[in-house]
């Protein structure tokens, strides 16, 4: 009995740990060189951190987000106007308007390359 409980406990812990460390995967085309892949991944990672800290309150990728605010599906972000509209709109995107072009780029790279969970 004890051993069964033990096994269940271990399984439970594994699942917990897996949930916690589940990495976001990125879709980087296969023809991209290893060096550029590393650059892309670095940008994605910076973008993820910036997004989580500054955007996810409204845009629900990591959290619930707000109703009616885009969750940035692939289609939404593919339209490059997003870059412009985010940075320009001082009212709803005051934080994004402050960001450097590189920071915006990191976020857009993150959003466009991340593989959405089904």
Q: Which of residues 57-86 bind another protein (CB under 8 A)?
A: 80-81, 83-85
Side-chain-side CA neighbours of residue 3 (13 Å): 0
Give 116's DSSP letter.
P
Q: Which of residues 17-56 bind another protein (CB under 8 A)?
A: 45-47, 49-50, 53-54
Residues 6+ apart with CB under 8 A from 40: 26, 28, 32, 109, 113
Q: Which of residues 94-113 bind another protein (CB under 8 A)?
A: 95, 98-103, 105-106
Binding site for another protein (CB under 8 A): 45-47, 49-50, 53-54, 80-81, 83-85, 87-88, 95, 98-103, 105-106
């Amino acid at each position: 009995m004890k051993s069964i409980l033990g096994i269940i406990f271990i399984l439970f812990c594994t699942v917990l740990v897996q949930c916690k460390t589940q990495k976001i995967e990125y879709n980087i085309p296969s023809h991209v060189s290893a060096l550029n892949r590393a650059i892309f991944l670095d940008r994605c990672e910076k973008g993820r951190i910036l997004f989580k800290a500054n955007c996810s309150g409204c845009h629900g990728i990591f959290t619930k987000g707000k109703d009616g605010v885009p969750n940035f599906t692939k289609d939404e972000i593919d339209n490059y106007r997003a870059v412009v509209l985010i940075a320009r709109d001082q009212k709803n995107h005051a934080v994004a308007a402050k960001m450097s072009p590189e920071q915006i780029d990191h976020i857009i790279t993150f959003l466009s390359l991340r593989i959405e969970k089904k």
